[in-house]
Amino acid sequence: MVMPSTDPAHNDCTRNTDIPVIDLNGSRHRVSESILKACEEFGFFMVTNHGVAENVIARMEATGSEFFSLPASEKQRSGPPNPLGYGFRSIGSNGDTGEVEYLLLHASPTYVSLRAKTICKKDHLGFSCVVTEYVESMRSLACEILELLGEGLKLGDTEIFCKLLRDSKSDSLLRLNHYPASYSSARDDCRIGFGEHTDPQILTLLRSTVGGLQIMKDGGPWVPVKPDPAAFCVHVGDALQAMTNGRLASVRHRAVVNSYTQRMSVVYFGAPPPHASISPLSETVTPENPRRYKSFTWGEYKKAMYSLRLGQNRLDHFLSS
Ligand code: GA4
């Protein structure tokens, strides 16, 4: 029997377009220009030749799959999310829901013991070690990308973003999402796993080998991201938008569930420490692009973000008058 194609990457509600794929092995100048262009045009791109060891990725994915295959009662011991921990269907605390279960964890080394406590699994220390190894690789990759971006933007201090991620109190997170196969009616193409939103942090690195992620460019149609096991997806977050005075814009994205295949995504959110001041960098404030955002701390931004719904625009609350 021929099954109708209900792969969200090929359904009626989406249209393919050219999402930039950047090979980090290219010449430094060209790579930095391409990263800047992709961040300006899409707020999103994919990186290949990223240098993250295959066994680090494999260990993280195997550990994640093992966690999600535990009985519900076992997983629930790591929840409810507060805001970190295991969650099922409910996203945040303001009524957002999706066809997803997830585990949200601290990524910073300072909070490693808190992280281990969140994972209420028999081998919670082993799990936490795998996370440490993975987030260290993610932080290095994020820093490499952010430095190249800083060069493209011709910043005086090209390490400015990376210093925030490397701060011992950085509020970076790791999220494991599991989208079960939906087994819904074949024409029900656009079932939402994780509703549309932008990521609040500086930079997001996401990996998934199954289709479902979609991005939106300039209010246009949803564009499916073709999964590539050799690549990481890179998202510009709200904090980077504010620091570049809107020159780069955080990307709206969502995840739809696949009717036949379950999907797991592993997502690193590179964030500043709570006390860090987020304000437009002087190099990005010009007579043609006057200052758009007030200065705020990451702690203040988080407070606003938890008071709003998933899809709401948070940066609008920080526009300079
Ligand atoms: C979206 C990006 C990350 O997944 C996340 C999410 C967070 C959560 O799941 O607790 C939020 C959401 C995200 C933004 C608005 C608030 C907070 C759910 C929600 C409704 C971990 C994050 O940092 O912000």
- The per-residue pLDDT for range 10-28, each reduced to its tens digit, is 433 444 458 999 999 999 9
Percentage of the chain exceeding pLDDT 90: 85
* Domains defined for the chain, CATH in brackets: 23-318 (2.60.120.330)
pLDDT score at 133: 97
Average pLDDT, the chain: 92
Instruction: Record the pTM.
Output: 0.94
Ligand 1: residues with CB < 6 A are 83, 91-92, 94, 96, 104, 173, 175, 197, 199-200, 269, 305-306, 310
Q: Which of 124-128, 166-170, 220-224, 259-263 has the lowest mean pLDDT?
A: 259-263
How remote is the CA of residue 26 from the centroid of ligand 1, in Å? 34
Contact present, 278 and 201 (Cβ < 8 Å): no
- d(CA 3, CA 16) in angstroms, rounded, equals 22
Q: Which residue's C-alpha comes closest to atom 5 of ligand 1?
A: 199
Atom of ligand 1 nearest to the CA of 309: 20
Tokens 């995840």 belong to which residue?
255
- Averaged pLDDT, 68-72: 96
pLDDT score at 18: 86
Q: Is the model's pLDDT at 194 over the cut of 90? A: yes
For residue 229, whether the previous peptide bond is cis, meaning omega lies within 30 degrees of 0, is no
pLDDT score at 12: 36
Pick from 180, 196, 188, 181: which is nearest to 250 by CA? 196
Catalytic residues: 263
Pick from 287, 281, 290: which is nearest to 242 by CA? 281
Q: What is the ipTM of this complex?
A: 0.99
